[in-house]
Each structure stands twice: as C-alpha cells, then as structure tokens.
Amino acid sequence: MQLDSASGWCHGIRHCPSPNFNARPQAEVSLLVIHNISLPPGQFGTGKVQEFFQNRLCADEHPYFATIASLQVSAHFLIERDGAITQLVSCDERAWHAGQSRFAERDNCNDFSLGIELEGTDELPFTDGQYSALVELIRLLQERYPALTVERICGHSDIAPGRKTDPGPAFDWLRLRRALLNK
C-alpha cells in the first residue's frame, strides 16, 4: 500500500469513491478519528456500508435504512472484518465523518482530520485482521502527516461526547497504541 502525495489516494487498496466530501480548508491534517459501522446494525459483509457512503442505500430494504438513507456522510477509509481496506475519499479532501465535534479546543474536526471506519459495533470485539490493517494504515498516514501522533488518534466518542459512542468499549485502545509504539 502506498499513499500518492499528489492525489491523496492510496494505491494497493480498493477504491469506492463517495460523493460526500468537499475541499479541506487550509488546515494541516493533525487528527485521526476511529469510528465503527455495520449495516444493517450488527451485520457484516453486506456491502451496505459502501452503498450508504455512496448515497445508494435503499430505504425500503431494512427498517433501519429508512432512518439513515437520506444522510450524506463519508469517511476516508473503511476496514472490513477480514482486514480489507477501502478508500472512499482522498486524504486531501474533507470527508464528512465527524459531524459537530471538538478536539483540543478546535471545533469542526472534519477540517483537520482523517476518518477511519471499522466494520463493527460498540459491543463486538474487532478482528485481528482489522487491527493489523489499522496499524499498517495509520503508519502509512503518519509518514505523510507527522502531526498524527498516537496522542492525536481518538474515537468518535472523544470528539462528540454524548452524541456518539463509537468505536465503543470493544475497541482495544491499548492494543492499538502498543502496536503503533512498537515499530
């Protein structure tokens, strides 16, 4: 996997471009936000997450879809249960993943962050494949964006407390930090 500095797209992984992005303001990428998602909730490998991020989710297919199909959201990356990484938005663009958010006295985290979605739920453990892929992706991103220190990697719940709970208590922060610090 390689990150093309000219385009902000990674080579060697799947691309599934989302229309839900816009130009990043003149802000250095200095925050990485980890999320979780599954569609329908608790079901994996359905392809519905990709459809959701491409505004192609059919509201009639599942009762839950009717509540979210009109939303326009995205993330930069999705890591599926088997560890497969898909890029949805260029790292040079602002993905719409954080919503109303605040980190280190700065609002609008989308302006200066990258978002990584893990296929999962708050309660179910994430897979070894997902942790391996996440560590590899973060190390690649840190090469391009040195401000993405371990201290500036957080969960959606950290930047939108009370509004968001992901990646949830099942996410092993200690495992991630240890892996990133043991190069």
Each residue's pLDDT tens digit, 36-91: 999 999 999 999 999 999 999 999 999 999 999 999 999 999 999 999 999 999 99
pLDDT digits (tens, 9 = 90+) for 105-150: 999 999 999 999 999 999 999 999 999 999 999 999 999 999 999 9
Strand runs labelled E in 4-152: 10-11, 14-15, 21-23, 31-37, 77-79, 85-87, 93-95, 102-103, 106-107, 113-119
Told to judge if 117 belongs to the known catalytic residues of this protein, a careful annotator would answer: yes
What is the band of 183 on the pLDDT scale with cuts at 50, 70, 90?
Answer: low
12: left (phi over 0), alpha (psi -120 to 50) or beta: left
Domain residue spans in the chain? 2-36+74-181
C-alpha pair distances (Å), 60 with each of 40, 42, 102 = 12, 18, 34
pLDDT of residue 46: 97
pLDDT of residue 182: 86
Tell me the sheet residues that pair with 94: 22
What is the Cα–Cα distance from 103 to 122, expressed in whole angstroms? Answer: 21
Cα 117 to Cα 57: distance, rounded to the nearest angstrom: 17
162-180 confidence digits (pLDDT tens): 999 999 999 999 999 999 9
Average pLDDT of every residue of the chain: 96
| Predicted pLDDT at 27 | 83
For residue 152, pLDDT beyond 90: yes
Convert 120-133 into a string of H (helix), E (strand) and C (coil).
CCCCCCCCHHHHHH
Of 117, 119, 136, 151, the catalytic one is 117
Question: Are 10 and 140 spatial neighbours (Cβ–Cβ below 8 Å)?
Answer: yes
Q: Which CATH architecture has domain 2-36+74-181?
A: 3-Layer(aba) Sandwich (3.40)
Percent of the chain with pLDDT over 70: 99
Share of the chain residues as helix, strand and coil, in percent rounded to the nearest 5: 25, 20, 50
